Amino acid sequence: MTEWLQCITCSRRFEATEIRYTCDCGGLLSVERDKLPKNTKQFDARRTSRNTVDSSGVWRFREAVLSIPDDQIVTHPEGATRLYEREGLLFKHEGENPTGSFKDRGMTVAMTQAVRVGARAVACASTGNTSASLAAYAAQAGLRAVVFVPAGKVSAGKLAQTLAYGATCLQIRGDFDAAMKLVLEASSRLGIYLVNSINPFRIEGQKTIVWELLQDLDWTPPDWIVVPAGNLGNTSAFGKALKEATEAGWIKRTPRLASIQASGANPFYRSFLESFSGRHRVTAETIASAIRIGDPVSHDRAVAAIRYTGGVVEEVTDDEIMDAKRTIDGMGIGCEPASAATLAGVRKLRASGVMRDDDRVVCVLTGHLLKDADAIMKSAAGRSIEIDATIEAVERALR
């Protein structure tokens, strides 16, 4: 099967092994291939396989992800996350990936490509999850890892994870958008392979979130797939996944995408309100630090995703996010704040009549509960009570 890179703006093609992230015209790149499997039989058969590559929820779909010999794949393995049904909604928990977020799905493909093109070092800008994932996969592949994070704006858990796996962490005095600009410049000047979601191989891996959830539902599509939106890599990947699944005939009907932004970090929502006639940049602020992003790099790909699926973009406040998080945590599932934007978004879209109460909805929970312990301790501290080691003190506390 042949694969190539293609500009989403001018359609110019490049070799799949060329190291580049944008076209000469400035357009974003997409990995394209001449054909996809006509049915999902081999994908479905691999679900019960004991082979490592088959058991990955990414590489199970490898004919539609990356054409490369099995022994060159850098896989933990990842994916194969659970789908929970609670209170009439479905939750696909991507926090169950090896480093606790959906980023591992894109990282396994980007790191495989990094090794294939002979990279010695890999880099990303990050609000914490991409950096943790990059560090873990770079450790596995034996590559040097350098991450650019907004100084003081990444949760302690994510930072600790990134350092534990051995990455060098540059704390940038500025926000995520400044770190993103800097890593773009640094990677081209220093010859470091960039694995942010501007890298189209990341998108190929993240498509499998959608394919795996469709497979979990025996390829009977839901009405909606709801995802939090920051740098817009996932929104882009989900649109591409749905287009390919529809065109290949794996599904008979295309679900609609709902991308949810925090109201303090809502450039994509603003653009949606104007039917995407312009692009917005904002100075971002939200409690959901994972999506504190004001100038998303994958804007153009994400516009295509919303248009193709007849999707919508919604915004939710920090209070609505934390309220939804308490509900998801209270179901015994749990997630980090950014992920809870999904349920907050569903509530809002139901209230405005865009989503019907009997629509079948899958919310994608992007990160694990333990990714941001501070956000929990701030709101639940009242239930943590220090007492003397006596039975009387226990009785008093529980009265």
Q: Which is closer to ligand F0G, CB of 235 or CB of 286?
A: 235
CB of 166 to ligand F0G, least distance (A): 18
Separation between Cα atoms, residue 396 and residue 176, nearest integer Å:
47
CB of 388 to ligand F0G, least distance (A): 40
Long-range contacts of 150-154 (CB under 8 A, 24+ apart): 150/174, 150/175, 150/176, 150/178, 150/179, 150/292, 153/127, 153/289, 153/292, 154/126, 154/127, 154/128, 154/289
Q: Which is closer to ligand F0G, CB of 55 or CB of 129?
A: 129
The rounded Cα 56 to chain-centroid distance in angstroms is 17
Strands 121-125 and 89-93: unpaired
Footprint of ligand F0G on this chain (CB under 6 A)?
Answer: 101, 103, 126-130, 197, 228-235, 290-291, 336, 338-339, 366-367
CB of 206 to ligand F0G, least distance (A): 7
CB of 106 to ligand F0G, least distance (A): 9
Q: Which is closer to ligand F0G, CB of 295 or CB of 336?
A: 336
Angle, in degrees to the nearest 10, between helices 299-309 and 233-248:
40
Q: Which is closer to ligand F0G, CB of 46 or CB of 312?
A: 312
Going by the DSSP 8-state scheme, the letter that residue 367 receives in this structure is B
Q: Report how far apart, in Å, the C-alpha atoms of 362 and of each of 254, 256, 341 are.
A: 13, 11, 13
Residue 227 tokens read as 């995802």
Q: Which is closer to ligand F0G, CB of 6 or CB of 234?
A: 234
CB of 252 to ligand F0G, least distance (A): 27
Residue-by-residue DSSP string for 189-226? HHTPEE-STTSHHHHHHHHHHHHHHHHHTTT---SEEE
CB of 353 to ligand F0G, least distance (A): 26
Peptide bond into 77 cis (omega under 30): yes
* 266, containing H or E segment: none
CB of 67 to ligand F0G, least distance (A): 24
Helix, strand or coil for residue 69?
A: coil
CA end-to-end span of the chain, whole Å?
68
CB of 309 to ligand F0G, least distance (A): 16
Q: Which is closer to ligand F0G, CB of 215 or CB of 339?
A: 339
The rounded Cα 97 to chain-centroid distance in angstroms is 11
Q: Which is closer to ligand F0G, CB of 62 or CB of 202?
A: 202
Q: Which is closer to ligand F0G, CB of 46 or CB of 194?
A: 194
